[in-house]
């Protein structure tokens, strides 16, 4: 005889949505105490909400104790589903606002790290234009690795991403915004730092004698290192980690010139043969190609394009 099982959750209520938002905030903040300020409620209330959600779902979502806050395997799955659900709810609200011919709700934008110091990047100017046009929209600005931004745009976690171009996908729409120049850097503790330029490596082949630190996901950095056959001796997952590996004195690595400028000025790094060991990458805004982006997303796209138009 087949036993019928009843779904633990049943119908999804407004209270469930609220509890899931609390759960997401706790995970994003790394614990209940840290989420207290973000949620503007006491830690005991946050704890009660999480307990209510666990009871509602019939699952243990997290561990609390001296070892700190950590998600259970079930909690990790519920968190991933929560991101998808809340992204859908926010998209629905944006559509309703669009029907009412007003721009409200929330807009999540994800940017690749270390773009604020690039003088060619006018993301701040685009935000100013957008806020003037849509003051009722609540902005959320995230910084994330390239692959996380692409995945987040595809699953609805982010409405707009800003990334260096490295491949194209038929399910995304791309707008070119600005460019970035990358140089190869050595730190003051690296053998190449005090070497005269004419004694530095004179070819990509000669560069293979030195340990190289590169990004650990598909990117212009990875494409170039594979093309010129640089063996990655250490792996970073953002520009900050690459800079830290370079500063160890053990590795060479590529950084944006605008980001490395302060290290160079302090005498902590220098560019190795910048006429030879360099590459350029273009940055693009990305949105999902289908369904058609909401009016709020299109408005921010337009603000990005306007802010990055060449002068004159």
Question: How does pLDDT run across 192-224, given as a tens digit for each residue?
Answer: 987 776 688 899 999 999 999 999 888 899 999
Residue 296 to residue 134: CA distance in whole angstroms:
8
CATH class, range 179-281: alpha beta
Contact at 8 Å (CB) between 279 and 227? no
Burial 246-267 (b: 16+ CB within 10 A, else e): bbeeebbbbbbbbbbeebeeee
Domains 14-81 and 179-281 agree in fold: no
pLDDT band at 10 (very low <50, low <70, confident <90, very high): low
CATH number of the structural domain 14-81: 1.10.10.10
Count of Cβ atoms closer than 10 Å to residue 240 Cβ: 14
Residue with tokens 């940055």: 283
pLDDT band at 101 (very low <50, low <70, confident <90, very high): low
Preceding peptide of 291 cis, ω within 30°: yes
Per-residue pLDDT, 199: 81
Q: Which of 161, 180, 162, 177 is nearest to 118 (CA)?
A: 180
Domain range annotation of the chain: 14-81, 179-281
Residue 142 to residue 149: CA distance in whole angstroms:
9
- For the stretch 229-282, pLDDT in tens is 998 999 999 999 999 999 999 999 999 999 999 999 999 999 999 999 999 999
């Amino acid at each position: 005889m087949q036993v019928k099982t009843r779904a633990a959750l049943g119908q999804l209520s407004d209270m469930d949505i609220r509890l899931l938002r609390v759960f997401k905030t706790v995970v994003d903040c790394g614990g209940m105490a840290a989420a207290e300020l973000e949620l503007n409620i006491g830690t005991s209330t946050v704890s009660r909400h999480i307990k209510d959600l666990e009871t509602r779902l019939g699952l243990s979502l997290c561990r609390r104790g001296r070892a700190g806050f950590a998600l259970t395997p079930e909690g990790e799955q519920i968190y991933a589903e929560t991101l998808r659900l809340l992204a859908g709810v926010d998209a629905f609200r944006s559509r309703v606002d669009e029907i009412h011919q007003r721009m409200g709700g929330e807009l999540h934008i994800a940017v690749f790290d270390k773009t604020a110091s690039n003088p060619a990047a006018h993301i701040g100017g685009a935000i100013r234009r957008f806020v003037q046009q849509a003051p009722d929209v609540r902005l959320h600005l995230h910084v994330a690795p390239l692959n996380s931004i692409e995945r987040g745009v595809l699953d609805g976690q982010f409405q707009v991403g800003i990334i260096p171009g490295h491949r194209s996908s038929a399910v995304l729409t791309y707008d070119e915004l600005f460019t970035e120049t990358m140089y190869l850097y050595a730190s003051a503790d690296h053998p190449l730092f005090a070497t005269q330029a004419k004694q530095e490596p004179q070819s990509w082949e000669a560069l293979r004698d030195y340990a190289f630190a590169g990004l650990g996901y598909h990117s212009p950095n990875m494409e170039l290192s594979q093309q010129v056959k640089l063996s990655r001796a250490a792996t970073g997952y953002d520009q900050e980690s690459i800079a830290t590996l370079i500063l160890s004195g053990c590795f060479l690595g590529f950084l944006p010139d605008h980001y490395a400028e302060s290290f160079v000025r302090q005498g902590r790094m220098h560019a190795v043969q910048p006429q030879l060991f360099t590459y350029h990458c273009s940055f693009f805004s990305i949105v999902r190609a289908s369904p058609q982006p909401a009016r709020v997303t299109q408005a921010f796209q337009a603000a990005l394009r306007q802010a990055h138009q060449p002068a004159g």
